[in-house]
Amino acid sequence: MSTGKMVTLPLIKEKARAAIMAGIVGDALGVPVASLTREELSLCEVKNMLGYGRYDQPEGTWSDDTSMVLCTMESMARGYNLEDIGHTFCQWLFEGRLTSTGFVFEAGLTTSFALDNIHSSRKSARDSGGKSEDDNGNGALMRILPAALFFHTMQTDDFLEHIHAVTAITHAHPRNLAGCGIYALFVRALLKNGNVRECFKAAVAEALDYYNKRPPFKAELLHFMRLISHEILTLSREDIRSSGYVVHTLEAAVWCVVNYAVTKEVLLAAVNLGLDTDTTGMVAGGLGGLAYGLASVPAEWINSLARKNDIDTILNQFIAVL
Ligand SMILES: [Mg+2]
């Protein structure tokens, strides 16, 4: 453990629960308005849990982000096994398991190709993920939170190697590995400490120390310059993009959590950035829940979540192994 002071276990579990739950709420807040632009959203700003809209699903419906987070937690509760995580993802994509509606209404291209490599081509989960420049969407970042929580006690090198392995099941380009690595380091720091900006700076320093020494990653660091330089801490909303590009989502999530000191506001700020609203909500929500807890998130939002009992069951099983 290289960051922060020791925190007692129940607090870690409580923070982990808040992170996952806030992430899922963020996904569900974003689903009805997914792909609306910021300009469109400025006319119908999200202030509450809504139903219908983009996918015509009722209030509390969550998407692929949450399905894959649930798959990861369910698998990790059985013990860490990369192939098992890959197979659990396949059960979601090809059988509709752990969906909010009983069917898959959203799945990313890179993720679909990678899981088909496991499902149809019988590839190992160590060799299934997309490695091209085009495989730099946010489809691994949106589901990496449980892995960051699960591996949090590891030393930094080991921690990042495990985060990279879980990321690479679907997204194996070094930029994507580094993006998920930076996020995971921030999650790990927030799990152990309180000051959000200090945690962010510590995470970035650790990331820089690790990635600078390794050529495939070093060449990618320029894409994370606004984070590494701490410029992200002073940018205005107009400077933040919220597309499905992994760097945009990471920047947007960090920007929301450092600029809004209440989880409910982090969630609404993330979703109202527009475009990839559900994933920005999930990724920012995870950070918000860790940093500020769940108290500000309306109980009716949490209670509206589809399959709330199943979420609770899987979350309890996962928290028990942390
Ligand atoms: Mg989604």
190 domain residue, yes or no? yes
Distance 64 CA to ligand 1 centre (A): 5
Report whether 86 contacts 119 (CB < 8 A). no
Q: Which domain holds residue 187?
A: 9-320
Instruction: Please name the residue that has the structure tokens 């009805």.
Output: 32
182 domain residue, yes or no? yes
pTM exceeds cut of 0.85: yes
User: Which CATH number covers residue 83?
Assistant: 1.10.4080.10
pLDDT of residue 1: 41
pLDDT of residue 143: 98
pLDDT of residue 5: 55
pLDDT of residue 53: 87
1 domain residue, yes or no? no
Tokens of 2: 């290289």
Distance 5 CA to ligand 1 centre (A): 35
Neighbours of ion ligand 1 (CB under 5 A): 63-65, 106, 278
pLDDT of residue 2: 44
Residues 257 and 33: their CA atoms lie apart, in Å, by 21
Distance 301 CA to ligand 1 centre (A): 18
What is the separation of C-alpha 159 from the centre of its chain, rounded to a whole number of angstroms?
Answer: 16
Distance 129 CA to ligand 1 centre (A): 18
Instruction: Please name the residue that has the structure tokens 């109202």.
Output: 272
19 domain residue, yes or no? yes
pLDDT tens figures, 98-128: 999 999 999 999 999 999 999 999 999 999 9
Tokens of 262: 């209440």
Query: In angstroms, how far apart are the furthest CA atoms of the chain?
Result: 48
Q: What is the dihedral sign for C-alpha 245, 154, 315, 73?
A: positive
What is the separation of C-alpha 22 from the centre of its chain, rounded to a whole number of angstroms?
Answer: 11
pLDDT tens figures, 66-83: 999 999 999 999 999 999
Distance 86 CA to ligand 1 centre (A): 18
Distance 276 CA to ligand 1 centre (A): 8
Distance 269 CA to ligand 1 centre (A): 17
91 domain residue, yes or no? yes
176 domain residue, yes or no? yes
The tally of domains found in the chain comes to 1
Q: Mean pLDDT of residues grouped by 10 in the chain (322 residues)? A: 59 97 98 97 96 91 98 98 98 98 95 98 98 98 98 98 98 98 98 93 98 97 98 98 98 98 98 98 98 98 98 98 96
4 domain residue, yes or no? no
